Structure 1
Amino acid sequence: MRQLLFLLTVSFGILACKGNESESSGNVSFELSIIDSIRIDYLGMANLMDVHPESKRILLMSSQTREFLLADFNGNILQSFSKSGDMPDSYGVFPLGAGKFDPDGTSFTVISNQGVYTYSLDGKLLIGGKHQENEMPSFAGRASADQEFYWLKNKILTVGAGRGVYPRNTPEFYNAYTSLAWFDTLERKVVSFLPLDENSLFKNGKGHDIAHMIPRMTVSNDQIYVIQGIEPAMKIYASEPPYTLIRKINFDVPDYFVNEGEEMKSVDPRMINPDVYSGIFENLKATDDYVLTSFFPGIPETQRAPYEGLPWMEMMSAMRKDFPPRMLVLSKDGEVVDEFVLPANLRDKQWLIRDGQLWFFKPTNLDKEEDFLTIYQVKLSKN
């Protein structure tokens, strides 16, 4: 690993504090410290899937070729291979989320609409195969290579936003929608669960873009934490049936702008066309003591004029510069402890937690093509 010559520390004051006496008095803040970086020589775009600190291995996926890229902490790409498409040991066309190292770091698992597959680090299929379902649930939204899944015993818990049989310009779509799914790796069955609660933004009688609804999810201490896409609220559920709702926390972020949907008759159910100006929660993770979520606050209609008509990449860069993503630090009960702006060199969507450390992907440089990728090891500290 290439050591940084300096320690970059960004400290932030508390903007929102609730919860217990020790952390709601306004005397607690957090800082993010970049303690190391890894530069991987690679020309192209990729998704960060996983990091295994003990074996010093990194798993990525090429956005262009869908190849898995296995790198080490010195920045060397050790292996690259594809398991997408028409081949006997393929997982299918797209993974449903990020591949994940197994505990010893000698293999990794990928899930898809087709099944669950575990590969060795040189690309051999070790175990896995297709779901044994006559008809698979129809999962909503674009396939993603960065959403994390979680092993709970012999089952995999994943985001499994189900479209079902109804189009999204009908109330029935929202009544039948489910947010999560279990992949049973022994029975090879798939079970969708967790409908929208009756007070959800997405039960307001309007039509919503599927991309706005895809949940962010994490697991800690036998509890499931869920943020439903753009909705500024977090729900905590028990991880066992009947998945009792323990608590719902509405986030008080005064300048958060959310797209509240459109009239049902105006919705084209065939289209996926998210509102780029809407606020959205991009990631959700848990440490031993806290829950962290990163989000883009959105842009009100009265402040959008400077971005209208700009080329796509230029527009996105300008928006994120003027309205930078933020991080909420919450207690395990969901109380907001701190809120701060994320440093510009940390990507708000692609980050994960391993061995108590945060690992962030550096955002793509939209102004200049680079022939390398950068991953930062980041420490969250309480002042």
Structure 2
Amino acid sequence: MKKYFIFFITIAICSCYSKSKESVEKQIQEKPLKVSFDKIDSIKVDFLGNPNVHDIHPESRTVLFVHNYSMFSEDIHLADFEGLVFSSFSKTGDYPDTYSSLLSTLRIVDGYSFLATGYNGFMTYNFDGRLISQVKHIDFQVPNYSPLLMGHGMEKMGDKYVYINQDSPKDNDYSNKSRYDEMYLLDLLDPATGEREGIIKFPESSIFKSGKYFYRNAWDPVFHIENKKIHVAFGLEPVIYTFKASPPYELESTLPIDLKDYNYFKGADEYSEDVSFFGLRFTSGMILNIKKFQDFFLVAYFPGYDQLDTQTNFENKSQDEAKDFRERMQKKYPSRIAIVDSSGNILNDFVPQGLEPSSMLLRDEQLWMMEKPDEEVERDYFRLFRVGLKVDSN
């Protein structure tokens, strides 16, 4: 009798727990979290020109940015969080301590030095521009592309750095489907030795392993290092892949993201050298940046043109018509940010007011973004915002 009593009590408890769990899940469904951006701090730097912020170092309260005068001439500037530029110099030109051309954005190492990876190797400079050390690349190749933009540089992992793989096929032939099996998407860089190691290939479930052809740059990865994980999104594919941050860098999880009105190229049955095929990179949806911040994924993306606008884009137009069309498309399809939870639920999807979505930079658990400039107004300053997340229950 006692056994039966315990049995029934257990069933009742399990039943109550089940109902309680269902009630909580129902409540979550009925009252989902609403997560939005909250500007909590800012840095205004007085500077005339079009600067490109490379890094921010909260501990030393330093901003590192570059001003490009031309393709072969640029100045490096360092400012404090009060907006005062305290050091300026150039490391381009025919000098023994030049990095030549940059492969990645400059990275602040500590309160007195920064790291540059360029054609001449890994170069460490102090904040006055004096060369501290130089390590030549063991295996240097002229890069396929270098996204020198805020939020797109090398990310530290232990004593090394993770960065995009910048290699091109030696025969420059992208028509071979086996490329998608062979290519590494990221590199592990060692600034102490100059060595690099290719890591992370396309998972079998990736759209780039579907047997279709894609234009060059369709797979350009964006990534984020979190503890012992590497989160990666491959170009236009709306999926976050999480890999272990240690050899053999195994795939740990896959998180598809159902972005609203996301129009992206899903591959072609035949490869094409036509200009319109390469031009799809300007009309297809694209993941621009990802960050893991306070248990949420922040996904910056370009939504892509719809089918009609894509077709219109490749029609013959006069110079004025093409300019007018581009300006209309920029307003119609602004870059957006989706805030995503660990289950892939989109908690918010919006155009951030006055912020450049792709510029998200995470340093010392602080999220910084570049203010989106008004192209119609010339300014003698630029501003950075420190952004927090405001979590509400609807």
- Compute the TM-score of the two structures, normalised by the length of structure 2: 0.81
Provide the secondary structure at the position in 2 that maps to 1:349.
helix
Distance 2:321 2:53 in 1: 26
Question: Residue 191 in 1 paired to residue 197 in 2?
Answer: yes
Write out aligned runs for 1:150-189 (5 A): 150-166=155-171, 167-189=173-195
Q: Is the 8 A contact 1:169 1:268 kept in 2?
A: no
Note if contact 1:44-1:62 (Cα within 8 Å) is conserved in structure 2. yes
Task: Classify 1:315/1:348 alpha carbon distance in 2 versus 1 (closer, same or farther; 3 Å).
Answer: farther
Q: What secondary structure, in the 3-state scheme, does the structure 2 residue paired with 1:66 have? A: strand
Shift, 1:240, TM fit:
0.6
Once structures 1 and 2 are overlaid, which stretch shifts more, 203-212 or 62-71?
Answer: 203-212
Distance apart, 1:316 and its partner CA? 5.1
Please state whether the residue corresponding to 2:178 is helix, strand or coil.
Answer: helix
Does the Cα contact within 8 Å between 2:264 and 2:284 map onto a contact in 1?
A: yes
Look up the match of 1:369.
Answer: 378
Q: Name the one with the larger helix percent.
A: 2
Matched ranges for 1:267-282 at <5 A:
267=273, 273=279, 275-282=281-288
Cα deviations across residues 293-324 of structure 1 (Å, max 9, x unaligned)?
Answer: 21111121224588785677765554343233
Counterpart among 64, 74, 78 of residue 86 in structure 2: 78
* Counterpart check, 1:324 vs 2:334: yes
- 2:148 aligned residue (144, 148, 157): 144
Moved more, 79-88 or 259-268: 259-268
Aligned equivalent of 2:11:
none
What is the identity percentage for the equivalent residue pairs of Structure 1 and Structure 2?
27
Q: Take 1:265 and 1:153, find their aligned partners in 2: how far apart are those partners? A: 40
Q: Quote the residue 1:3 is aligned against.
A: none
Tell me the equivalent position of 1:344: 353
Question: Who is 1:290 aligned against?
Answer: 296
* Distance change >3 Å, CA 126–CA 106, structure 1 → 2: same
Q: In 1, are the aligned partners of 2:257 and 2:344 still within 8 Å (CA)? A: no
Deviations 1:64-94 (A, max 9, x none): 343212112222222222223432122221x
- Name the CA distance, whole Å, in 2 between partners of 1:171 and 1:113: 30
Q: Which moved more, 1:317-326 or 1:190-199?
A: 317-326
1:169 alignment partner AA: S
Query: What is the CA–CA distance in structure 2 between the aligned matches of 1:369 and 1:295, rounded to whole Å?
Result: 26
* Alignment partner, residue 9 of structure 1: none
Residues 276 and 348 (structure 1), Cα distance of their counterparts in 2 relative to 1, 3 Å cut = same
* Structure 2 match to 1:124: 130
Amino acid at match of 2:235: G
Report the Cα offset of residue 59 of structure 1: 0.8
User: Which residue is 1:354 aligned to?
Assistant: 363
Paired with 1:334 and 1:122, the residues of 2 have a C-alpha distance of 47
Correspondence list, 1:59-78, <5 A: 59-64=64-69, 65-78=73-86
| CA distance in 2 between partners of 1:101 and 1:288 (Å) | 23
Task: Tell me the residue number matched to 1:41.
Answer: 46
Q: Who is 1:243 aligned against?
A: 249
Query: CA contact under 8 A between 2:354 and 2:373: conserved in structure 1?
Result: no
SS in 2 for 1:34: strand
Where does residue 100 of structure 1 map in the other structure?
Answer: 107
- Following superposition, the deviation at residue 330 of structure 1 comes to 3.1
2:256 touches 2:344 (CA, 8 Å); kept in 1? no
Relative to structure 1, is the Cα distance of residues 90 and 268 closer, same or farther in structure 2, using a 3 angstrom cutoff?
A: farther
Gaps of 5+ in 2: 1-23
The one-letter code matched in structure 1 to 2:58 is: P
Structure-2 separation of matches of 1:145 and 1:299: 23
Please list every run of 5 or more consecutive structure 1 residues that lacks an aligned counterpart in the other structure.
1-19
Q: Secondary structure at the match of 2:203?
A: coil
Letter in 2 for 1:72: D
Distance 1:326 1:100 in 2: 26
**Distance across 2 between alignment mates of 1:261 and 1:52:** 40
1:74/1:312 CA distance change after superposition, 3 Å = farther
Conserved? CA contact 1:141–1:210, under 8 Å: no
Q: Secondary structure at the match of 1:213?
A: coil
Deviations 1:222-269 (A, max 9, x none): 000000111111100001111110111221124100023445442269
Q: Quickly say closer, same or farther: Cα 1:316–1:124, change in 2 above 3 A.
A: farther
Q: Pick closer, same or farther for the CA change 1:364–1:317 going to 2, 3 Å.
A: farther
Choose from 214, 232, 235 the match for 1:208. Answer: 214
Per-residue CA distance 1:48-71 (angstroms, 9 max, x = gap): 211122322111112334321211
Partner residue, 1:7: none
SS in 1 for 2:331: helix
Partner secondary structure for residue 87 of structure 2: strand
Scaled by the length of structure 1, what TM-score is found?
Answer: 0.83
- Alpha-carbon distance change, 23 to 323 in structure 1, aligned in 2, over 3 angstroms: farther
* Kept after mapping to 2: 8 A contact 1:84/1:92: yes
Q: Which residue of 2 aligns with 1:16?
A: none
Quick check: 1:56–1:72 contact (8 Å CA) kept in 2? yes
